[in-house]
Structures are given as C-alpha cells and as structure tokens.
C-alpha cells in the first residue's frame, strides 16, 4: 500500500523516515513545498492554495492514506482538506493532551509556529485539555527556516527553551515537525528538568489503525 507524507519542508521527512522504519512492507511517498516554506508565517488561505495541488499529486500517484506532517496545516485546514479529499488524512497536532497529563508542575512549553499558535484548533486543544495549565509559548518563528537551511543558531534555541525552563515548565511539546531535527539538542537542554514530546509514535499508531480499516 502507498502512504503519502506531506510537509512544507524537511520536517516531514523525519516522519516519513519513522513510518518507513515502522512499516517497511508499505511504500512511503514524501512530498514537500520548500519553495514556499515556511508555512508558519502564512495565512490559512495562502496555505490552502499551496497544499491542495500537492495532496492531489499524492492521490494521483496512488496513495491510499496521507499523513499531513505539518502542525500548521493540520491545525488550520484539516477539516477543509478532508472535505476536498476522499482518502484518509492523518493530522499532526500539538500534543497538549499528553503534556497536560504528564506535567507535575502545571507548566508546559509549546514550541510552534505563529500560525499554529494563532489557530482556532490550538485554542481548542488548550481549552479542552489544559484549562489549569500554564502554557509557555517561546518565539520559535525563525526555527523552521534555520533548520531547513541548516543554519541552526544553537544559542537562540537554548535561550528560547531556557526561558520556559526557568519558569518551571517540566514538559516540552515540539509542535512543528521541523523541530524534530533539533530534538536531541532540546533533550540535552531539558535533561533532568523536562520531558520532550513529539508525535511520531502516536502518528504511526493512528496510521496503523487507518491501514487496518483500508485492508
């Protein structure tokens, strides 16, 4: 079976690699939109026009399920995209629910793009699962582009993370797949103080459930 994976840039490649490792019997097709990234500073209307033809390409190439490996797209457009496409679309969203369940301090850090943070879905996740939790949102607006360009400012990343850790946060949510490429750096910064969450494992679990239904 063919599985599509889409992201604006290199972030989704980490998800595609994880899927290939977990499900080697399937074919994984990865597409991104490097020309127009970062998506996290674009409007939902702009993003819809960019994403739709790429998802259509994956459908035309025979993908029977597509992982939308972009928090920005998932939190702003997944309902609209599901209306446009009949194949199952598996969304990646900020892991607010598990973070809220894990925190002992009642404080979590969410690293996300500006468009994700401004989305109605993100507000809904916070209201539903973290009403009594302090959610710290560092300015990560430049992270995706510097990771895509392999020009990572480790000092800037450390400052962004340390600010939340100093406030006592004990869980860090990586809510952009680009950030998976600096996960080890963030884990080193958070060692002994905070857990780091990213969604590859739960996405693979959801994908497996979808594939069973399709068989």
Q: Which has the closest alpha carbon to 148: 9, 31, 51?
A: 9
Identified catalytic residue from 63, 70, 111, 140:
70
Are 3 and 30 a contacting pair, CB within 8 Å? no
C-alpha 113/C-alpha 110 separation (Å) is 10
C-alpha 201/C-alpha 32 separation (Å) is 21
| Other Cβ atoms closer than 10 A to 134 | 15
Cα torsion 121, 123, 126, 129: sign: negative
Q: Is 63 a catalytic residue?
A: no
CA dihedral (6, 10, 15, 17) in degrees, to 10, reads 110
Q: Is 140 a catalytic residue?
A: no
Identified catalytic residue from 63, 111, 140, 176:
176
- Which residues have a catalytic role annotated? 70, 176
């Amino acid at each position: 079976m063919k599985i599509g994976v889409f992201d604006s840039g290199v972030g989704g490649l980490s998800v595609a690699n994880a899927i290939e490792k977990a499900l080697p019997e399937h074919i994984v097709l990865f597409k991104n939109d490097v020309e127009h990234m970062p998506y996290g500073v674009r409007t939902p209307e702009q993003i819809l026009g960019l994403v739709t033809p790429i998802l259509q390409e994956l459908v035309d190439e025979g993908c029977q399920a597509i992982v939308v490996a972009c928090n920005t797209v998932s939190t702003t457009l997944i309902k609209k995209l599901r209306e446009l496409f009949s194949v199952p679309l598996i969304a990646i969203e900020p892991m607010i629910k598990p973070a809220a369940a894990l925190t002992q301090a009642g404080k979590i850090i969410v690293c996300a793009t500006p468009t994700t943070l401004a989305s109605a879905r993100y507000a809904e996740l916070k209201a539903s699962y973290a009403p009594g939790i302090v959610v710290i949102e560092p300015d990560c607006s430049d992270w995706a582009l510097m990771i895509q360009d392999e020009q990572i400012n480790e000092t800037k990343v450390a400052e962004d993370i340390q600010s939340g850790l100093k406030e006592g946060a004990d869980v860090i949510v990586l809510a952009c797949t680009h950030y998976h490429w600096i996960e080890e750096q963030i884990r080193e910064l958070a060692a002994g103080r905070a857990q780091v969450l990213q969604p590859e494992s739960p996405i693979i679990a959801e994908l497996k459930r979808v594939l069973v239904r399709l068989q």
